[in-house]
Every structure is written in structure tokens, then in C-alpha cells.
Structure 1
Amino acid sequence: MAKRKASKNLRRVLWATVIAAALFLGYLFFLWLQVKEPTFIRYKEFGISIPTQYEIHGIDVSRYQSTIAWQEVKKMRVKNVQLGFAFIKATEGTGLVDPYFKRNWKKAKEAGVVRGAYHFFYPKKDGKSQAQNFFENVKLESGDLPPVLDIERGWNMPVDKLQNEVQAWLDAMEQAYGVKPIIYTYVTFYEKYLKGKFDDYPLWIAHYYQPDNPRISRPWHFWQHSEEGHVNGIIAKVDFNVFSGDSAAFRALLVP
């Protein structure tokens, strides 16, 4: 009887110790939460959570955003977040031009927003002809971002054929503007079609709902982290992006 009672008391002591340890660890975790700097903060004004560890933020737009009041875009500032750049859709395929491009291109510069132009790429069409479409419609100036190749569809093309057409566009752009173009795509597409061939080009990667950074093994320059943002001066939702480096690295990327 005495042994059973001693064993019962021991179990009570052990349980009490476990509970006390759990409460202590919970308290430590609570204190850690109070001092840990959050990496994603939701801003009511922008309507989305924004990664706070990056200092340079921007958007990308096309005809889907309709007419944009660029001065309002530039003036919007919420705490330490202000939009410093915008990628603007220019061309598509061998002959299409975004109907809002000329206006967006002109008004963004007037508002003091660093601008970049992108081309939506058709892998089954000649890369040089698509480059000519871009070149005929986009006049990059000093201080603009490099030209961007937006490639999101493979259309079941052989990888080597797709890569050849992509390389043709990139080579033509570098020759025309004197800067290395940026590649825009999403993670799985890059891994399937582009990895190992274009790793020395600046990368603009789309990967949503990630807490800190896109899950890709190679370095990146721009990260499109949301497509649900709201900005003063734009009626429709808009894509949000961050730049990976500081202001000096950003300036070094621009067209000289």
C-alpha cells in the first residue's frame, strides 16, 4: 500500500513538473513574439500583406488596370512603404501593343516613378521578330529599368527550341539597349524550361503567399509576391513587387 501511494505521489510530481515546464516554455515563446520583427505586415490601405525586410517596392500594370492616375500612385505612402518603380506592359508576340502603354509610359515618368517595359513572349513565334516589335514601340532612356521578357507558357515545346527563341529575344534586346534584359516567370516554369541556361540574367520571379521570399534556388532581383494589391490612382487590383537589394543596387541595374 505504501509503495502504491509513493508511486502515485511521484506521478503527481512528474505531471506537475511537465505542466510547469510547458507553461514556462509558453511564456518564453510569448516574450519572443513580442520582440520578433514580423517579416510580413498587412497594410489596410494596400489591402495585402507586404514583406517588410525589403526597402524598394513597386507594381506592374497593363491594360487590365485601365487609366491610371500616376501622380496619385507616386504620392501614396503608408508608414515606410512607398512605390518606387513600375513595370508596364508594352508588347505581345510579333505585332500586338498594349493599348495603354504609351500613356502609362509617359505619365509614369512625369510622376517620377522609375519605369520598366515588358514583352509578353509567344514561344512558338520567332524571337527576333518579337524583339523587333518591342524595339519599335519602346524607347528606353537613361534611368529606366532594363527590358523585360515575360515568359509564362511553354505550349509543350521542346525545351531546346523554346530556349533558342528566348535567347534570340534576349540577344536582340541586349544589342539594342546595351543592358542585360530581365526575365519574368514563375518558379515551376523556370525550373522546367530555363534553369541552367539563363541563370546569369536578372530574374523577376512570381511566387505568391510566401512569408519571406520566393522558393527558388538561384538569386533573384524582383519578386512578385501578390496580385491582390490596391493603390491610390488605380481602380483595379494590381500586382505588388519588391526589389532584393538596396537603393545602390537598384540604381546600378538601370539603363545608363
Structure 2
Amino acid sequence: YEVHGIDVSHHQSRIIWDSVAAQEIHFAFVKASEGVSLNDSLYCFNWDEMKRVGIRRGAYHFFRPSFPAEEQVENFAFQVEMAYGDLPPVLDVEVLDGASKIQLITGVRTWLYLAEIQYGAKPILYTNLKFYNRYLAGHFDEYPIWIARYNSREPRLACGRDWQFWQYGNEGKVNGIAGDVDFNVFNGSLSELESLCMAPPMILSQR
């Protein structure tokens, strides 16, 4: 895989993004929000810095199935203003929080639908391989998928579909980041990654 990236949150403390950008890091996802009211304390810093140093950036929301999906989209949208060239919004789904499978799928579908309207791009769905195969396989095939599987063998999804991003390790070392960081690859070329990024609006010629 030729296209590599990381994902971060306040757990990585304050990152020296100039040092990160000097390495083969093609993209980075940063935590923005969680549930209906939680926000990542370093989101604004990370978001602005990624833009400044020229790393393709994306933002994710940690989904809490026991809270209304509509309010969770509002929480994310209040934080995250996206620009052309940014990666689509990401929904991180990895806990049930006591919700049923039907409640989970309904909530996830609502969040993805509303976020697509909000940003004009199909969101990316993040989850781990076991959670995907147990609860989400066969649903959401129209959305790009980002799968966590800490293994040297690439993930195989129960429904047979391809993955777009693979989080293959959580003990990565990167200059500019104290402690461990998650490592990811994109299943494609750099130009394919760029085509996944948010496009400028179509300007129709006036006749």
C-alpha cells in the first residue's frame, strides 16, 4: 500500500504537525466530537494545523447509539466546517451502549444520511472487523468503509465487499507525536484518495 495515514485525538496530546508532515503521512483523521455534547479539546488546533502543513485532513464523530442521531450530527456539524480537498466526515461506530441491533442500524443510517446532506459528501463508516461482521455487514454498502484490524493480514468483510481504509496498528511511532498513534492505509492510489475528497460545487454555465 502506497498511501499511509494516521488518526489522532486529545489522547496524543499536542502534536508538532510540521514534524508529522515531513514524513510519509498522506492523510490524517482527527476526533471532533462524541455523542450529543462532547467535543475533543484539541480538535480545533489539530484541524487548523493539518491544513497549514498540507496534510489531507478528515474529522470523525464517535457514535453513541443510546442518544438521538440527529443531535449527534448537530454536535459534529457545530464543530466541523469542511473545505474543498478535505476527506468526507467519518462516523466511528464501535459500541452498542445497550442499544439493540435495530436501534444501532437506524441511528447510524440517520447520522450518515443527515451528514451527507450537511456536507454534500458520502460519509465514511469506521468500525472494527468483529463489530462490522456482527452488526453492520450487509448494511451501508453505499458508504466508504474504514476497518480496524490489528493484524498483518488485511481484513475480509463478511459480506465480501472491499474496504477503503484499514487501521492495521495502534502502536505506531511518528516524529512530532508523543506516545503511540494508529496507523492506516488507503486501498488505492494518491489520486484515488484525492477523488474521495470533497469537490468544489459544480458551476453551471449561464446561457
TM-score bin (small chain): over 0.9
Aligned to 1:251: 194
Would you say 1:227 and 2:170 are equivalent positions?
yes
Aligned to 1:214: 155
| 2:81 pairs with one of 123, 136, 139 | 139
SS in 1 for 2:82: coil
Cα deviation digits, residues 201-220 of structure 1 (max 9, x gap)? 10000001223x11323211
The AA in structure 2 aligned to 1:245 is: G
Cα deviation digits, residues 170-195 of structure 1 (max 9, x gap)? 11100011100000001111112111
| Alpha-carbon distance, 1:249 to partner | 1.2
Aligned to 2:202: none
Would you say 1:183 and 2:125 are equivalent positions?
yes
1-structure distance, mates of 2:179, 2:83: 28
| 1:205 pairs with one of 147, 150, 162 | 147
| Alpha-carbon distance, 1:156 to partner | 4.0
Q: Which has the higher contact order (CA 8 A, sep 6+)?
A: 2
1-structure distance, mates of 2:162, 2:34: 27
2-structure distance, mates of 1:158, 1:134: 23
Task: Output aligned runs, 1:56-95, within 5 Å.
Answer: 56-76=3-23, 82-95=24-37
Aligned to 1:55: 2
How many residues matched? 197
SS in 1 for 2:81: coil
**Contact residue 66 and residue 98 of structure 2 kept, 8 A:** no
Aligned to 2:181: 238
> Normalising by the residue count of structure 2, what TM-score does the alignment of the two structures yield?
0.93
Would you say 1:166 and 2:127 are equivalent positions?
no
Cα deviation digits, residues 2-25 of structure 1 (max 9, x gap)? xxxxxxxxxxxxxxxxxxxxxxxx
2-structure distance, mates of 1:94, 1:254: 26
Aligned to 2:44: 102
| 1:119 pairs with one of 21, 40, 61 | 61
Where has structure 1 moved over 6 Å in runs of 4 or more? none
| Alpha-carbon distance, 1:230 to partner | 0.4
Cα deviation digits, residues 69-123 of structure 1 (max 9, x gap)? 00100102xxxxx111000000000011100000000011101110000000000
Identity %: 47
**Contact residue 61 and residue 92 of structure 2 kept, 8 A:** yes
| 2:134 pairs with one of 171, 180, 192 | 192
Q: Name the Cα RMSD after superposition.
A: 0.9
In structure 2, list runs of 5 or more residues that go unmatched: 200-207
| Alpha-carbon distance, 1:154 to partner | 1.4
SS in 1 for 2:126: strand
